[in-house]
Chain A
């Protein structure tokens, strides 16, 4: 999947999002220092037309906050977000309506995404009414039908007057996508779009996203499931504690991971084939909370390379403990933020 000219839809540059942690009365009185949740600490990526980027990570890594910042549902503390060349990170709140047309979000929970009192038709029509587009009644009706057909809910007439409780999870998710498509967005953000659907249904909905991608839509997919990302995304960005620690072509990231965190994740993902059992690298403990970020490489306290002494062997341990770092190109188009992964410094890693 290569760039088609300069078809860059989304450029995120050095995004920072922090939340203050409530101190409570005691904390305020005792003058405890104000703490912050470092949800996103300098994230940069690019998304092109017809490309799907998967933001992958465990809870607390900042992937959802990143998506919310892109949608301006949350305000960034620093960094820029550019949508088709236009800086949207500074647009005042009151002028965001235009943005809301161009970027759409699909939420994780299809059972709560639809207003139970709205028919399918009303749900899909609502965006058009909000933005006052789509022409008159009959034109809107046609658009609704076309959107439903596009998401695989055919014949549309069968679904128009249904209520959400009459639809399955997969169908509801498709309705949400249809409602997003009527606005003809440039970018679709999908937050765990299939994790609440039955396994047998997931592939169908993901296929839909794939079809939309091929028709030119740029898709940012948030997921914790590396396998799904490997199948459907063009590129994967692995996040840990507010940073992207690895980014590259999807299949490459899963088959040849360059960052020890990604390697550990890949090793613990169960394979359905019982014959394929890898040695699991189970990291000790759990992801530290994003309030207190470790110094140096933020992964070093749990890093198998540090724990096993490998980092010491190659003389990198001090840097791992003390020197924070960003992404570096380790292979063509494949980036990792690891002192031991830079090709120039490691001998026979």
Chain B
């Protein structure tokens, strides 16, 4: 469980904007995920989490510029751009896109859509592929007899399961799930999350779950990274993030989420996320932070390692700075 399968090193992503200027969407993110782990990537809109996982698959548009490394089992996926990224796609690392269940091809049977990547990557063909597709459907909780049905004959939850089956077509080691349950009812969400948990346990699959839903991540993931304004605010085990956060954003984010018993106080975070098309000298969270102090507006905090696999980008963790203030 403690073998690193995917590691991101100092990832930067810039997007050229249509009217000139550059958007610095990901600003030096580093993280590592262990084999078989369920890892959450949490943040609100514009924080860079989706861009980060797209970079993991090298699925960035032509107006993107990338720097840094993404090591998948030791190999740098981004080394030569498309050329180095493509061989890994779907075979080693695959993805369930946001709203995947609504993006299924309506004129192709579900079976055909699961088959397609298998044949494309030379993984299996013909009868063999069909057999595998059937097995995958069963694995995700849909009967094998549904192979020749069309997406519109499936409910929302079932379509999402089909999307998961598609992602598993070539037996990847890592699955990236981008908001897999956002448009689903809470009961169906529980079913899908249960499925992801089961798959990761049974198949040793590494799951990276991207979402804005904190409780969801707390429920399913072992560890998580919280992103804000293109940087990694904090990384650590779920329990530590909740009970001992080392970044004010983590703490405030948890406080902004109502708990199911309706007991604890819910506090919103005033202000709005920063614009990423302008350089930010200090910490991107500083304007909204309730514990900002002197260095925060001018010095960018580095992602520092704390004890036992935890990391945070906050000056408050730097004893030298806090003593001096």
Contacts and interface: CB of A to CB of B under 8 A. Distances in A.
A203 B187 contact: no
A225 B263 CA distance: 15
Contacts of B266: 203, 206, 231
A273 B185 contact: no
Interface residues of A, number: 42
B270 A270 contact: no
B87 interface: no
Contact of A227 (B218, B262, B272, B273): B262
Interface in B177-210: 185-191, 193-194
A254 B261 contact: yes
A275 B262 contact: no
A283 B188 CA distance: 9
B141 to A, nearest CB: 10
A44 interface: no
A41 B194 CA distance: 32
A262 to B, nearest CB: 12
A286 B188 contact: yes
Given A168-B272, A231-B266, A271 B186 contact: no
Contacts of B254: 272
Nearest to A282: B190
Contacts of A254: 260-262
A197 to B, nearest CB: 9
B218 A226 contact: no
Chain A at the B interface: SS class:
helix
Nearest to B255: A203
A26 interface: no
A58 B193 CA distance: 17
A2 B138 CA distance: 53
B238 A199 contact: no
B257 A286 contact: no
A231 B262 contact: yes
A272 B214 contact: yes
B251 to A, nearest CB: 12
A227 B242 CA distance: 18
Contacts of A270: 193, 213, 215-216, 218-220
Nearest to B272: A168
Interface in A197-253: 198-207, 224-228, 230-231, 250-251
B194 A280 contact: yes
A203 B268 contact: yes
Interface string B130-170: 00000000000000000000000001111000000000000
Nearest to B187: A283
B262 A274 contact: no
Given A198-B45, A207-B268, A224-B185, A272 B242 contact: yes
B187 A268 contact: yes
A199 B45 CA distance: 9
Contacts of A230: 258, 260-262
A203 B242 contact: no
A58 B187 contact: yes
B17 interface: no
Q: Which of A199, A271, A273, A287 has the most CB of B within 10 A?
A: A199
B258 A227 contact: yes
B190 A268 contact: yes
Contacts of B253: 199-200
A225 B239 CA distance: 23
A36 interface: no
A225 B220 CA distance: 19
A264 interface: yes
B242 A273 contact: yes
Contacts of B263: 251
8 contacts: A168-B272, A201-B272, A224-B186, A254-B260, A271-B219, A272-B257, A275-B242, A282-B190
Interface of B: 44-45, 155-158, 185-191, 193-194, 212-216, 218-220, 238-239, 242-243, 252-254, 256-263, 266-270, 272-273
